[in-house]
């Protein structure tokens, strides 16, 4: 079998038999791939730590009949702190699951890869509000995948939007509705006056600006509701790790 060099992030892992492991990888070159890591569960195996979730590595990947095989690992960033801190773990796992759900099998996606890598790095650096990292990641991932939210003009009539009362977000239409159009959308989520500016910052602010962006509890909850609804519409089901993240956030409050 011919081996292909790939740069990848481990999105998910699960056991295979008593010695091996199956990993879901996001690679810059070939998108999302499932692969077997032989002997990964053996004590002292070099591939055990390398195939942990969130690890960024350069690998040798060979195609198989149903699953690929990873034969060599060269760790780039272990992101070990993301696995030892419960809050970081919950947020990183959520971002990885969202990525897995939004990316197709074998679809090259270097921009998505770079976005997730940057988000995991920011999360591990622990500068600012970790939930800002998660929210900005989701907003920008939606945009990168072709589902960017319309935040400057009404998604229905095209009128310019100004923050204020009466605006609403429609997940099905993919953006914010003006005061006149919002009553006509059955899936509308009403927005408080500070939520749309927050969504704009999450979508386009510099990393320096994001590091200092903290939403009020009410605005954060409403933003989460909007993003959760957008993901549910695009993925056609809820993100499983959302509940775990919510429980962790409740424990931090």
Same domain flag for 14 and 40 = yes
Same domain flag for 55 and 180 = no
Same domain flag for 73 and 90 = no
Same domain flag for 109 and 51 = no
State mean pLDDT over 139-162: 95
Mean pLDDT of the chain: 92
**Which CATH number does the domain housing residue 64 bear?**
2.40.50.140
State mean pLDDT over 55-73: 88
Count up the domains in the chain and report the number.
2
In this predicted structure, what is the pLDDT of residue 1? 60
φ, ψ dihedrals at 78, nearest 5°: -80, -25
User: pLDDT band for position 112 (50/70/90)?
Assistant: very high
Same domain flag for 111 and 67 = no
Two tokens, residue 76: 């780039």
State mean pLDDT over 205-219: 87
pTM of the model: 0.93
Q: Give DSSP secondary structure letters for 118-163.
A: HHHHHHHHT-S-HHHHHHHHHHHHHHHTT---B-SB-TTT--B--S
Cβ contacts of residue 14 below 8 Å, gap of 6+? 21, 22
* Whether residue 175 has pLDDT greater than 80: yes
């Amino acid at each position: 079998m011919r081996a292909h060099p790939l740069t990848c992030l481990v999105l998910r892992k699960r056991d295979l038999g008593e010695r091996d492991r199956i990993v879901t990888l996001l690679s810059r070159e070939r998108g999302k791939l499932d692969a077997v890591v032989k002997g990964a569960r053996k004590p002292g195996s070099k591939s055990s730590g390398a195939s942990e979730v969130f690890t960024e590595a350069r690998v040798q990947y060979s195609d198989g009949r149903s699953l690929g095989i990873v034969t060599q690992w060269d760790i780039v960033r272990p992101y070990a702190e993301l696995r030892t801190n419960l809050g970081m773990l919950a947020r990183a796992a959520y971002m990885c699951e969202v990525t897995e759900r939004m990316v197709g099998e074998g679809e090259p996606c270097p921009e998505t890869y770079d976005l997730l890598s940057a988000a995991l790095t920011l999360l591990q650096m622990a500068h600012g509000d970790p939930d800002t990292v998660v929210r900005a990641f989701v907003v920008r991932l939606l945009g990168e995948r072709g589902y960017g939210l319309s935040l400057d003009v009404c998604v229905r009539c095209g009128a310019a939007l100004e923050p204020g009362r009466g605006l609403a977000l429609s997940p099905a239409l993919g953006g914010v509705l003006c005061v006149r159009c919002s009553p006509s959308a059955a899936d509308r989520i009403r927005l408080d006056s500070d939520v749309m500016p927050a969504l704009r910052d999450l979508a386009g602010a510099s990393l320096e600006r994001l590091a200092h962006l903290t939403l009020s509890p009410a605005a954060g909850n409403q933003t989460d509701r909007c993003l959760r609804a957008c993901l549910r519409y695009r993925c056609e089901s809820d993100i499983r790790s959302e509940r775990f993240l919510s429980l962790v956030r409740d424990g931090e409050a």
